[in-house]
């Protein structure tokens, strides 16, 4: 699958597997991320996202397969690879005993900057990340959002060509989340390549040109967000009524209009998959013609759960039909 962008390949993985004893954390994972693009890695906890990030950042060795980042092999050239990458993990890893500024200076010095260069780079990043006022305070006094920004800044000190962001918005409030999204966009504008893991489909939808869905260590689907949504989940319309009697009438009315309604009596609501906006108009018209009063109408994008369930059931079905073929 060739993702949008089409620059030089910056992350290439082929058949990556990882076993911990008898547990298979990853199995046969391929990945292609091109320069200047954001690739999303979507999956629930335990899907293997963090393990893949750890392999690609040379923190743990794959049990199978090969991968290169910025042209350097994750197993054979870990030192050179680390010069090209920045990593922000799920938990803000800053030195709590140091000030915000000293945290950044420390990283810069370890990357080989002289004292003056290190200070200049730290100030530049503090400015960019809105941390100038708090620069002299110990990091342990920072709020969650500030800490995360400092952590992000720390991973960018060396101007990495490839940035790994492992669930960078987990646990952040909405404003801080928007902040992180802007940082990701700015990174890409500046020419960096970003691998972003998330549990939220909307986050990946907003930021990335291509994505991979992981489940139980395997790739469930890959492509652009558009392709995936088309292939997987459809949007759904949820119509709620005042009375169960209305709901019972609505079922046949919607079926009669060529739609596939699913009734939920407990919530006096009906869920209808919609393909186009015309379907929404059809729903409203059909119910209006039947003289039904709707108390609420919502159109929802597929959630990660729906994408998952849909992908899973598709996978189960194809496995089933393969077995059926084999029996014949």
Partner 1 sequence: MTIAGGTIGGGPRAADAGTWEGSGVATQIWVLALRSLRALVLDPRILVSSLLAPFLMLLVFSQIFAGIANTPQFPAGVGYTDFLVPAIMVNTAMQSAMQTGIGLTQETQNGIIARLRSLPIWPGSILVGRSIAELIRSLLRLVVLLASALLIFGFRPAGGAGGVLAGIGLAALLGWGLGWIFIALTCWLREVELIQNVSGILLFPLMFASNAFVPVEALPRWLQVVAVINPMTHGIDAVRDLTHRGDAGGSAAVAVATALAVAVVAGFTAVKGLERDS
Nearest residue (CB) to partner 1, 50 versus 282:
50
User: Shortest approach of partner 1 to residue 142 CB, angstroms?
Assistant: 13
Neighbour order of strands in the sheet with 38-42: 85-88, 162-166, 193-198, 38-42, 210-215, 218-223
Residues of the shown chain interacting with partner 1 in the complex, contacts defined by CB under 8 A: 35-36, 57, 59-61, 79-80, 82-83, 85-87, 89, 91-98, 102, 106-113, 117, 124-125, 128-130, 153-156, 158-161, 163, 179, 182-183, 186-193
User: Shortest approach of partner 1 to residue 15 CB, angstroms?
Assistant: 19
User: Shortest approach of partner 1 to residue 53 CB, angstroms?
Assistant: 10
The DSSP letter of residue 258 is T
The DSSP letter of residue 139 is G
Nearest residue (CB) to partner 1, 148 versus 235:
148
- Distance between CA atoms of residues 170 and 148, nearest Å: 10
Minimal CA–CA distance to 280: which of 233, 236, 234, 232? Answer: 236
Tokens coding 239:
């119509």
User: Shortest approach of partner 1 to residue 315 CB, angstroms?
Assistant: 30
User: Shortest approach of partner 1 to residue 194 CB, angstroms?
Assistant: 9
User: Shortest approach of partner 1 to residue 47 CB, angstroms?
Assistant: 19
Nearest residue (CB) to partner 1, 77 versus 310:
77
Alpha helices in the chain (DSSP H): 49-56, 78-82, 100-110, 115-128, 144-155, 174-189, 201-207, 225-231, 244-256, 277-289, 304-327
Query: Is-contact 95 110, C-beta < 8 A?
Result: no
> What burial letters (b/e) apply to 208-235, b meaning 16+ CB within 10 Å?
bbbbbbbbebbbbbbbbbeebbeebbbb
Nearest residue (CB) to partner 1, 54 versus 229:
54
């Amino acid at each position: 699958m060739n993702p949008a962008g089409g620059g030089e390949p910056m992350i290439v993985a082929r058949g990556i597997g990882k076993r911990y004893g008898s547990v298979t954390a990853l199995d046969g994972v391929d990945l292609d991320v091109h320069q200047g693009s954001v690739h999303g890695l979507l999956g629930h906890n335990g899907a293997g996202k963090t393990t893949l990030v750890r392999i690609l950042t040379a923190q743990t060795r794959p049990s199978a397969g090969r991968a290169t980042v910025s042209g350097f092999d994750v197993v054979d050239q870990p030192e050179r690879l680390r010069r090209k990458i920045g990593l922000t993990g799920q938990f803000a890893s800053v030195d709590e005993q140091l000030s915000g500024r000293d945290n950044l200076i420390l990283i810069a010095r370890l990357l080989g900057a002289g004292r003056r260069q290190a200070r200049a780079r730290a100030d530049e990043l503090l400015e960019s990340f809105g941390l100038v006022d708090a620069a002299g305070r110990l990091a342990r006094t920072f709020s969650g959002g500030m800490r995360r920004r400092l952590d992000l800044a720390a991973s960018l000190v060396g101007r990495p060509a490839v940035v790994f962001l492992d669930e960078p918005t987990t646990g952040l409030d909405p404003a801080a989340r928007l902040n992180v999204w802007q940082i990701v966009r700015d990174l890409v504008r500046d020419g960096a390549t970003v691998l972003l893991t998330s549990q939220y489909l909307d986050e990946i939808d907003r930021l990335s040109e291509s994505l991979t869905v992981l489940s139980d260590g395997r790739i469930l689907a890959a492509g652009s967000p558009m392709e995936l949504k088309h292939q997987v989940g459809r949007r759904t319309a949820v119509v709620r009524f005042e009375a169960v009697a209305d709901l019972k009438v609505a079922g046949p009315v919607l079926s009669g209009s060529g739609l596939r309604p699913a009734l939920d009596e407990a919530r006096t609501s009906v869920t209808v998959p919609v393909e186009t906006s015309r379907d929404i108009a059809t729903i409203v018209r059909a119910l209006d013609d039947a003289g039904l009063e709707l108390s609420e109408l919502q159109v929802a994008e597929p959630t990660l759960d729906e994408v998952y369930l849909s992908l899973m059931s598709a996978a189960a079905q194809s496995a089933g039909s393969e077995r059926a073929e084999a029996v014949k």
